[in-house]
Structure 1
């Protein structure tokens, strides 16, 4: 039996979900000869200690003590502003790191972190969970097999049922950086192509406070890929029908839709059509619950050297470059070219 101790920093909503998934992993990993133990910490010590007790994990009062305790990997689920510091700490401690997206608040702040990872020989997996979703995996296999012919259009949708607190939005970096960055990442990952230009528009018809903190509640971006293919990426904070994440891929031979099932948050206007008839998802955590579990299994396998990194930080920064361009286009009202790195590629 291989024994792994994973440290987790941050037990807010997504941190608790990761902690629960890590504890539950033992049922799946024990038959493979793997045992996972969890140590966690958070500045909200009372809450963190209660989470640890409920899950049978160990609580420690600070990150330094957590890293000094001999963990085999570090899971970072804190606010974005703390990601660079904690990624560096994990790399310096010589342990693989899983960090929720993004690497940093913006691309400029991410680049020194990438250099620190490279110079320190670090291993960092970024949390873009859609890469582990069954629908997106099926779509990637279809594209790689050429089942759809050549692709002429892609339409990505990410809509929350209701907005998060305005205090969160004020520090989120904007709707494209917070929500649509997942679409930008998955479009690159699925197609193997770069997005080279973005033209964005947005609106505010919900809570005026969202506009006051410099964000929009609904936005649309037209994206152009390096081979001339076009697509759209839309997002909203006010999709009352439910949490809606879909991707339509249309090709010269066939089409495929990710996220179209009994729980899709829409209804048909056609007579006699009752599909989809299920209860829509209400949150991203519910929609992607299996993907989040698979993501943690992948991190364990990465630590053990059983698989390559499924989402390296360079990919996350490439998606962030597109999000930055979308935010700039939203601000200026004109198309914006996506910045390239010194090697001449957004990868």
Structure 2
């Protein structure tokens, strides 16, 4: 094969614990030093010969290559956990092209590398990573933004890369950007203006020093997403691997059902997950999980999740969906983590 590297410039980035050399400009990612090696190469290629076949099916497996087509955007091929090829279609929007490179392509590539991608957001708290998963619309990104506003650092939004070793589950940071709806941005701004402050350790602290971005007109709308915007998060981004401390599954509960804790009505309450429930939650919220059998990774996938479940604590958080509960959820999460830390210390 002809080596194009002698005349095609590649920019170096880091994301998901990987060193990435890309022919496509990826402004969302953190630049890396040009002298370092690379784990992944992203290159432009002509994959038009596969277009007719891909239009008849969702994807094509060709040896180590997983290929798929996004109509009007690009044909993508991911090979061996080492290479992403992008064949842009005429008139494609570059933002949309990158959206699938950093989403589905990276999810497939992580699976090929035997790194488990979980669909959710992750935040650094007390030297550990905590993952927030749930169905679409349950507030994963909004909660991560509320944590950032409270002074905590985000690790990932949308795809959480987890390497499960014999002794731990390690979360690799993604890149410093969030996807937030306009309603969430407005609610978070209102939350900041209310100056909610808690003085106790490990409990929410929202101050004027942590403003949510107010210049909505300067934010880029995410292609294909209704009223969602790309929000930079470089000021509160944690860019080192961390052990996974716990998983919180967010559930929007019916406002007609009264949420109770210790006999009192509350906006959010929790249910601890046993190991089997934690395993089910991890399997349910794996990123692009329908692809896994076609990659021949079904056995590895289940075994990895089964080894991971006993290593982390799990909770299901039920929140009243009739009003904005981000600050209450943040506070309850921190209380649960602090309680867990005290429990560890007593053993």
* TM-score of the pair, normalised by structure 2: 0.26
Q: With a CA cutoff of 8 Å and minimum separation of 6, indicate the structure with the bigger relative contact order.
A: 1
* TM-score of the pair, normalised by structure 1: 0.26
Which structure's residues are more often helix, by fraction? Answer: 1
